[in-house]
């Protein structure tokens, strides 16, 4: 449930989002390590694989059940870009 306009986010929501983001980033790092992926092209490939096999199916409810195509494409695009950025940073960092 979204917060009321003008209200402050609850600490538990912020902590939950932090843990979720950390797990997501850790999962990408593990995938990069297991596959031995290196370079920007490899990071882009991993980001696309994550998008096609995980992110798009998870958000497909917007597309199939509610018919909210715009919301589906916004959610998937935002998370795909995030996956690409995280994978690229982790690849360069290692």
Per-residue pLDDT reduced to its tens digit, 9-28:
788 888 988 898 899 889 88
Tell me how many domains the chain contains.
1
Is 3 within the bounds of a domain? no
Q: Are 28 and 86 in contact (CB under 8 A)?
A: yes
Is 53 within the bounds of a domain? yes
Is 2 within the bounds of a domain? no
Reference 77, options 51, 41, 44; nearest CA is: 51
Instruction: Report the predicted TM-score, pTM, of the whole model to 2 decimal places.
Output: 0.72
Is 37 within the bounds of a domain? yes
Is 5 within the bounds of a domain? no
How distant is the alpha carbon of residue 82 from its chain centre?
Answer: 5
Coil vs helix vs strand at 65: coil
* pLDDT at residue 3, rounded to an integer: 61
pLDDT grade, residue 2 (50/70/90)? low
Per-residue pLDDT reduced to its tens digit, 39-91:
888 888 888 888 899 888 988 887 888 888 888 888 889 888 988 888 888 88
Is 4 within the bounds of a domain? no
Domain range for 56: 11-93
């Amino acid at each position: 449930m979204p917060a009321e306009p003008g209200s402050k986010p609850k600490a538990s929501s912020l902590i939950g989002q932090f843990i979720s983001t950390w797990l997501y980033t850790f999962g990408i790092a593990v995938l990069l390590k297991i596959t031995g992926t290196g370079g920007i092209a490899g990071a882009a490939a991993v980001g696309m694989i994550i998008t096609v096999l995980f992110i798009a199916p998870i958000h497909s409810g917007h597309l199939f059940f509610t018919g909210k195509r715009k919301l589906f494409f916004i959610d998937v695009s935002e998370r795909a870009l995030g996956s690409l950025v995280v994978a690229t940073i982790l690849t360069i960092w290692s």
